[in-house]
Each structure stands twice: as C-alpha cells, then as structure tokens.
Chains A and B, each alone.
Chain A
C-alpha cells in the first residue's frame, strides 16, 4: 500500500529508534550514579521517541493519525527534557551528590572549586553532603 521508498525510510527510522531505545535502557541499568543515569536515559529518549513515531508516521500515510502522531512527537519533545531537568533538580535539592570519578575521593572539581575561592566554604559544602539536605 505504501511505496517502497517510504517503507525503507520507515524501516531506517525503526532501526535507529530501536537502537537508541536499547542504548538508553542499558545506560540506565549500567551507569554508576543517578546523574549519569539521567544523562543516559534523557538524551536517548528525546531522540528515540521522534524516530519511532516518525517511522509510524511514514507508514500511516496522510490521515488524521499522522497529525495526531505529530502532536505526540511535539508533546514528547517538549516534556521529556523538562521532566529530566525537574528530576535532576529535585535530586540535587534533595541532597544527592554527583559522583565525581572513581580514583579521587571527592573528585577534582570540588577541590579546584575550594581552592579558587573561599576554601573553608568549599570544604564545608563537601563535608555536609552525606546526610543533610540544606542546599538552599
């Protein structure tokens, strides 16, 4: 029913979208920290959803379903990064510290930040990250 070229393009979209899906899932399962996991899932989700829905759009042809799928794509493109940003912000304000490398004890970024400005403030912020939640 659909031309061959359109079907090939749809297959290409499906392959790319499925690959991004599985990549995001593996990243979500294997990465060591919450913020790395939100990076893996959020970035791949934002591209996988338009690819898969675009593949479906190629197959439906010109109908009302195509417009609705375009609406779903626009909605997902607007809400997926927003949800990821809200989750990262909530985790950061809830007292979750990012994981800063396996070799150093607190990572190099924290030490460099402490050396630049007021060292006492940076050390206090690094020390209270375990239990308390008073980031602001």
Chain B
C-alpha cells in the first residue's frame, strides 16, 4: 500500500507539472508549483519510510518550510507588480461584448 500511495503522489506531480507547463496565467503556474512542492514533501515522507532512509522527516520538514516561504515570496512579487495581460479563459467571453 506504500507503493500505491507513492504512485498516487507521482501521478499528481505529473498532473501538476502539466498544469504548470500550459497554465494560462502566472498564478496557475504558481499554484501548480505550490502543489508540486507539497507533493514533494509527501513523497519524501512516504518514500523515505518505504526505503528506510535515515532522518527523512527532517528533509520533509525543511522542504515544507522552504516551499511555503517561496510561495509567499513569489506571490508578494506578483502582487506588487501585476500581470500585464491577465488572460481570462478566452472562450467564455463573446467577441461582441460592448466596452462602455
């Protein structure tokens, strides 16, 4: 069952990578990157216990802290410097929309 959990985490990491590659906005990429980091923490914890690594939890704890601080730092950066063109989903806006 450890193997199933590791496989589920790996599949989720692949999905997050796909979203990070084709995300329309930078926020989508940052969200996928944050999820990837959280999944890395879980992968280190579960896989480290499966492989009997010594002191794997320290690495997981440190990675969780670094992931949180990095996400907040990048979000503050984007908050101070807004996106030049926030691409909303393009198909939902009809082309004949009036602009007052």
Contacts and interface: CB of A to CB of B under 8 A. Distances in A.
A75 B63 CA distance: 11
Interface of A: 10-11, 14-15, 17-19, 21-22, 24-26, 28-29, 32-34, 37-38, 41, 45, 48-49, 52-53, 55-56, 59-60, 65, 68-69, 71-72, 75-76, 79-80, 82-84, 86-87, 89-91, 93-97, 99, 102, 105, 123-124, 127, 129-131, 133
B89 A33 contact: yes
Given A52-B5, A68-B58, A72-B57, 6 more contacts: A14-B1, A18-B4, A28-B32, A72-B45, A87-B30, A94-B83
Contact of A83 (B1, B14, B34, B49): B34
Interface string B17-45: 01100000101101110110011011001
Contacts of A60: 49
Contacts of A129: 88
Contact of B12 (A21, A90, A99): A21
B72 A56 contact: no
Top-7 shortest CB links A-B: A18-B8, A25-B15, A25-B12, A133-B82, A68-B57, A79-B68, A14-B5
The DSSP consensus for interface residues of chain B is helix
Contact of A99 (B45, B46, B82, B88): B88
B5 A94 contact: no
Interface of B: 1-2, 4-5, 7-9, 11-16, 18-19, 25, 27-28, 30-32, 34-35, 38-39, 41-42, 45-46, 49, 57-58, 60-61, 64-65, 68, 71-72, 75-76, 78-79, 82-83, 85-86, 88-89, 92-94, 97, 99-100
Nearest to B1: A11
A18 B9 contact: yes
9 contacts: A18-B4, A21-B42, A28-B35, A33-B89, A72-B57, A80-B38, A82-B72, A83-B75, A96-B25
A82 B25 CA distance: 20
Nearest to A134: B82
Nearest to B42: A52
